[in-house]
């Protein structure tokens, strides 16, 4: 089937197999390898992308279901101001180790901060419950998201 999507702000047209996942489409057909495949059951969060503004497990969505929709991967959020702040704090707070979960974590962290400005550590832990990291123990990740939320709140007018 031929699908047309807006991928990271650009129109993309591709033929896809009916059972091809969005994760495989993004990685294999479009070469955007920040979207990682971990469990392929939607449990780990490594494949998290944004579809029409909603965080989505790309391993659970078929590419054909995204025809006509907007998709953002980590590569497409490269210049997003919130992502710049998150990347800085992930670095400063040692919020990454092997890096496998990092793209999904960053996308989820951005979503958390969009929905819940200035969250505390308990809120961040709760919101990250669907993201698996096997290396860091989450302490640095939580600290980074809280710090980024505080910085973004300071930098936002009326925030």
Task: Identify the domain containing residue 93 by its residue range.
Answer: 81-155
CATH code for the domain of 122: 1.10.150.120
CATH code for the domain of 23: 3.10.20.30
Domain count for the chain: 2
Residues 71 and 135 in one domain: no
Residue 9 CB burial class (10 angstroms; 0-12, 13-18, ≥19)? exposed
**CB neighbour list of residue 41: distance below 8 Å, 6 or more residues apart:** 59, 60
Q: Residue 59 has what DSSP assignment?
A: T
Task: Give the helix/strand (H/E) hosting 23.
Answer: helix 22-24
Once rounded to an integer, what is the mean pLDDT over residues 31-58?
96
Residues 15 and 71 in one domain: yes
What radius of gyration, in Å, describes the C-alpha atoms of the chain?
A: 16
Residues 59 and 29 in one domain: yes
Q: How many CB atoms within 10 Å of residue 44?
A: 22
SS3 48: strand
DSSP strand E in 16-152: where?
48-51, 54-57, 70-72
Average pLDDT, the chain: 95
Residues 71 and 89 in one domain: no
Residues 96 and 150 in one domain: yes
**pLDDT band of 137, cuts 50, 70, 90:** confident
pLDDT in tens, 66-95: 999 999 999 999 999 999 999 999 999 999
**pLDDT band of 158, cuts 50, 70, 90:** low
**pLDDT band of 136, cuts 50, 70, 90:** confident
Residues 10 and 65 in one domain: yes
SS3 98: coil
Q: Which of 41, 75, 109 is the C-terminal boundary of a domain? A: 75
CA atoms 152, 155, 157, 159: torsion sign: positive
């Amino acid at each position: 089937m031929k699908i047309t999507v807006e991928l990271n702000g650009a129109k993309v047209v591709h033929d896809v197999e009916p059972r091809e996942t969005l994760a495989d489409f993004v990685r294999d057909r479009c070469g955007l390898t920040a979207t990682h495949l971990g469990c392929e059951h939607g449990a780990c969060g490594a494949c998290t992308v944004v579809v029409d503004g909603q965080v989505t497990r790309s391993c659970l969505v078929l590419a054909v279901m995204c025809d006509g929709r907007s998709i953002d991967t980590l590569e497409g959020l490269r210049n997003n101001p919130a992502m710049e702040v998150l990347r800085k704090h992930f670095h400063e707070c040692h919020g990454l180790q092997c890096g496998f979960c990092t793209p999904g974590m960053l996308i989820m962290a951005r979503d958390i901060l969009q929905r819940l400005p200035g969250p505390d550590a308990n809120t961040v832990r709760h919101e990250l419950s669907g993201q698996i990291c096997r290396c860091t123990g989450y302490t640095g990740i939580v600290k980074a998201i809280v710090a980024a939320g505080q910085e973004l709140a300071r930098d936002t007018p009326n925030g």
